[in-house]
Amino acid sequence: MANKVRARLWGFVITCCACTASQAGVLPEDRADVLYFRYDGGEVTINGPSMLVRKSIGEHVSVAANYYIDMVSSASIDVQTSASPYDDERTQSSLAVDFLHGKSTYSIGYVNSDESDYKAKTMFAAVSHDMFGDLTTVSFSFKNGKNDVFQNIKIDGIKQNDPNFNDGLGQAEMESKGYSVSVSQIITKNLVLAGQFEVITDEGFLRSPYRSVRFFIGTDAQGQQSEEYPNTRSSNAASIRAKYFLPWRAALDGMYRFYTDTWGIVGHTGELGYVHPLDRKFIGGDWIFEGRVRYYRQTAADFYADIFPRADFSNFMARDKELATYNAITAGVGATYEFKLERFPWLSKGQINLRYDHMMVNYDDFRDATFSIGKFGVAPENPLAPGTEPLYELRANIFQFYISAFF
Amino acid sequence: MSIRGLFVITALACAASGCSSIEPWVKPYDRENLADPIMVFTRAPISQDFLDHVFESREGSRGATGGGGGGCGCN
């Protein structure tokens, strides 16, 4: 939960900053979007709506507001081996304002996220500037998040925060800061490049209150204990992306990102995308099709192990599969139907969008411990020896349906 | 000092001075293709925001996914 909330907040901040970075001397266009999404994979289902409205006020100010709901139903592999299935809901609201001054855009924003066991408040600020005849856009951004972490327990069947969590404090704190610089550069009349470097630092309670590590007891038995994480984490990420306009009015884009952090994770991300608009109307409107493939690979954190040699093996111990060694391929397709309505002259265009992505994750050192521990406290009929279970694989389907209106 | 080092220092000095004399090699009237909506890196922020969330919550890596947008600055 904690990681997922943090990722969500950073994602929104990144998107907001990216809006300004793309065209520092131009305000983003007015639009409204309503999205319904569904993620289904690894016995976890997440669905909900998201609404985003962006509106200009005069010629120099643009305001964006977002409201988002995550409805989670989880019986993930972590939950199966150490807890009970759960349902939860998270709401997030945010507000961002862009100020245009000459060839510069100044942005500020605030994001609030509320979940039963995680509350997060994030502010961000960014400045972008067009230069060299508007061929180059340079952007700087800063974000700061303050988060309160709780642990849910059930007392008399009612879910509530554990007052004894974190040595009786009932809550823990985590603060995160991010600094980013990016450059967007027009290379030719058909090619644009963009590079970004971002540093993020976390301090405070960084682990999940719920997850456990497992360890050997002798050679063929195992036990579990709580994870122990460092209290700090600093990461560096550098990316470069390119987009090229093809002669038959289509666009090809590519991205590579290199990542490293103080926990020992090294990650490589590559992505290829193709956007193809139809050159004729169909069912009264224009159509845009998109295909995308994303490859990701990372090494494990220094203190990660699928199973440790013994209890209290080291100061820091983790068994979060997101800290394991693995690779992932995600392939997706999307279609956009674009239309205009004569009766609504104030609507410059509308879009109906469908998108489907399939994610395949193969872990190198994270095993499916349900073959030895069982599920939800029920042992398997023929348990395997610890450390001999098959490697875990995650397959997920991601659906998005959204309607966009441009004014 | 190598030629490459001299070039880098010259470029940095030029940038620091404001470089007002640099002529854009892609003229505004040559940016029609770059101004096409399909050339924007993030066509639908609400969708990209959700996908970034999906990836970041399942990966150890984070950051530098904004890339700086795209577009052409055709104001």
How many beta-carbon pairs under 8 angstroms link A with B?
246
Q: How far is B26 from chain A (nearest CA, A)?
A: 6
| Inter-chain residue contact A180 with B64, CB threshold 8 Å | yes
Query: A114-129, pLDDT tens digit by residue?
Result: 999 999 999 999 999 9
CB atoms within 10 A of CB A8: 24
Contact indicator for A127, A138 with CB cutoff of 8 Å? no
Sort residue A377 into left (φ over 0), alpha (ψ -120 to 50) or beta. Answer: left
Query: A62-75, pLDDT tens digit by residue?
Result: 999 999 999 999 88
- pLDDT reading at A196 higher than 70: yes
Chain A residues near residue B35 by CB distance under 8 angstroms: none
- pLDDT reading at A16 higher than 70: no
Contact indicator for A160, B1 with CB cutoff of 8 Å? no
Phi, psi of A78 (to 5 degrees): -65, -45
Q: What is the pLDDT of residue A78?
A: 86
Q: Is A87 exposed, middle or buried (0-12, 13-18, 19+ CB in 10 A)?
A: exposed
Amino acid of residue B24: P
Q: What is the pLDDT of residue A23?
A: 59
Q: What is the pLDDT of residue A10?
A: 47
Chain B residue with Cα closest to A325: B60
B29 inside 8 A of chain A by CB: no
Q: In sequence order, which residues have a C-beta less than 8 Å from that of residue A380 and are 6 or more positions away? A: A370, A371, A372, A374
Measured distance CA(A18)–CA(A12) in Å, rounded: 10
Q: What is the pLDDT of residue A319?
A: 95
| Inter-chain residue contact A7 with B52, CB threshold 8 Å | yes
ipTM of the complex: 0.90
- pLDDT reading at A180 higher than 70: yes
Q: In sequence order, which residues have a C-beta less than 8 Å from that of residue A227 and are 6 or more positions away? A: A207, A208, A211, A212, A213, A317, A318, A319, A320
pLDDT band at A219 (very low <50, low <70, confident <90, very high): confident
Mean pLDDT by 10 residues, chain B (75 residues): 54 52 82 93 92 92 69 31
Contact indicator for B36, B10 with CB cutoff of 8 Å? no
Mean pLDDT calculated for residue range A366-381:
92
Measured distance CA(A217)–CA(A223) in Å, rounded: 7
Q: What is the pLDDT of residue B63?
A: 94
- pLDDT reading at A333 higher than 50: yes
